[in-house]
Amino acid sequence: MREKKLSVTVGSVCAVLFLAVMVLPATGLSAGPEKSVTIGYIGGLSGFSAQGETCMENGAKVAGDWINDNGGITVKGEKYRINVVSEDHKSNSDGAMAAASKLVNDQKVKFIAGAVMPFTNIAINSVTEQAKVIHVAVYNVGTPDEFGPTTPYTFVAHNGTVEGINMMLDFIVKQHPEVKKIAFIDADDGSIPHVQPRVSQACKRTGLTMLGDIVSYSLDTVDFTPITKRALARNPDAIAIVNGWSSMIGGVLRTARQSGFNKPIFDTNGQPAEDIPTAAGKENVGTYYIPSWIIGDPHNKSLPVGLELQRRLKAKYGHELIYGAGMGFDAIWMITQAIEAAQSFDPTAAKTKWETMKTMKSVFGTARLGGLKTYGINHYMSNPQSIVTYDSDGVPKVVTWMDPIAP
C-alpha cells in the first residue's frame, strides 16, 4: 500500500513538472528569449591598434551580455537575444576586408559594428555598402571615403576627429587664454590631407595660429623624439596631438617634458584616462588635457549604465578601461535601438528609421544625430564629453563637460 502511494506521488510530480516546462515559454516566464540575432564586431585584436581597440571589443561583448540580461530586444512581440561575434582586422585594411567578407558573405550578418582607423573603416564599407548591411563605426577621422554621401549604410557612434578638434580648441582658448600658437602632431593614417584643412578652419574660428603643417609620423613609430622635437622647434604655446593611441601620446609627452616644455599639451581624440600616466610616466604628464571619461565624476550623465559597464568589465576582462569600452558598448547598443525602433531586422528599414531618430541612449549620456552639414550625411551620433586632466600623482580628474555636435 505504501509503495502504491509513493508511485502515485512521483507520477503526479512528474506530470506537474512536464506541464510547467510546456507552459513556461508560453506565459513569458522562461529564463530569457530563445531566438537570437547576430551582430558582428570588427576590431584590431592584434597588431599595433590592439592597445586601444581590444577594450572597445570588450565593451561590445559586455553590451551584448547586458542587453540579454535585461530581456534582449523585442521585435513584433517576440524576444531576441543578441549574439555579438568578433573578428580581428589585424590592424590593416586587408584584414578588415577579410573580416567583413566573412561576416557578411559567409555568416550572412546584417549588422556590423567596430573599427576606428580610416583605412579599416573604408575596407569594411567596401563590403557592407554593396551588401546593404549596416556598419556602425566606433570612430571617424573625417575622410570622404570613410563616411559621407557614398556610404548610406554607415553610421558613426561617437565623437570623432573633427568634433574633437573643435571641442578642444574651444576648451583651450577658455582654459588657457595665454595660448596663441599651437603645433599639431598627427598619425599618418592617410587622413592628414583631409584633417589639416579642418584644423586650419578651427584655428581661424577660435583666433589661434596653426604653426606650419601638421607634424606627421608613421603608425609603426616607436621613438617619438624626432617627431616631438620638430614640433618644439616651432616655439609653440601648446602642442596638440590630433590622433594616436595611448603609447603614441605617451611618447610625445615624455619627450616634450624631458626637453623642458612645461606648457599645455592636449589631445583631440579620446583615450582611456587610466592609460596616459602609464604610457608617459606620471612625472611626464604635466599640464595635459584629453577627452575621456571617469565613472566617479559627479556630473556623469549616465552613471547607472556606466557603473554596470565598469563592474562587468572588471569581472569579465579584469580591466576598467571604460572610455574605450564605452565606445564599443554604444555601437552595439545603438544598433539594437535602431532595430527595435524599426521593428525590423531588415538593414534598410533600420537605416531609414535611424535617420529619423534625433536622439539615442548612450553610455555617455544622450547622443544626438547630425552630420549633414559636416559630412554630407545625417548619420553621426555626438555624445556628451568630459575633459580630463591629471594631478601630480597622475590621478585623472574631470575639468569640465562639453556637448559637441556634428552639424
Residues 311-363: pLDDT tens digits?
Answer: 999 999 999 999 999 999 999 999 999 999 999 999 999 999 999 999 999 99
Percentage of the chain exceeding pLDDT 90: 88
Tell me what pLDDT residue 34 has. Answer: 78
Exposed, middle or buried: residue 320 (CB in 10 Å: 0-12, 13-18, 19+)?
A: middle
Residues 119-150: pLDDT tens digits?
Answer: 999 999 999 999 999 999 999 999 999 999 99
Q: Tell me which DSSP letter residue 231 carries.
A: H
Max CA-CA distance within the chain? 102
The rounded distance, in Å, linking the Cα atoms of 188 and 96 is 18
pLDDT at residue 14 is higher than 70: no
The rounded distance, in Å, linking the Cα atoms of 163 and 291 is 11
Tell me what pLDDT residue 298 has. Answer: 78
The rounded distance, in Å, linking the Cα atoms of 17 and 14 is 5
Scored b (16 or more CB within 10 A) or e, 12-35 reads: eeeeeeeeeeeeeeeeeeeeebee
Residues 224-245: pLDDT tens digits?
Answer: 999 999 999 999 999 999 999 9
Question: Distance of CA 46 to CAs 50, 125, 243, 300, Å?
Answer: 5, 20, 19, 32
Cβ(141)–Cβ(114) below 8 Å: no
Residues 376-404: pLDDT tens digits?
Answer: 999 999 999 999 999 999 999 999 999 99
Question: Mean pLDDT of all residues in the chain?
Answer: 91
Question: Distance of CA 194 to CAs 95, 117, 213, Å?
Answer: 24, 14, 12
CA angle 284, 199, 196 (to 5 degrees): 100
Single out the residue of 254, 291, 81, 80 nearest to residue 169, CA to CA.
Answer: 291
pLDDT at residue 24 is higher than 70: no
pLDDT at residue 7 is higher than 90: no
Average pLDDT over residues 98-122: 98
Residue-by-residue DSSP string for 344-370? ---HHHHHHHHTT-SEEEETTEEEEEE
Single out the residue of 241, 238, 237 nearest to residue 227, CA to CA.
Answer: 241
Cβ(374)–Cβ(291) below 8 Å: no
Confidence of residue 2 (pLDDT cuts 50, 70, 90): very low
Looking up cell 565606445 gives 327
Catalogue all structural domains in the chain, each as residue range(s) with its CATH number.
35-161+300-384 (3.40.50.2300), 162-296+388-402 (3.40.50.2300)
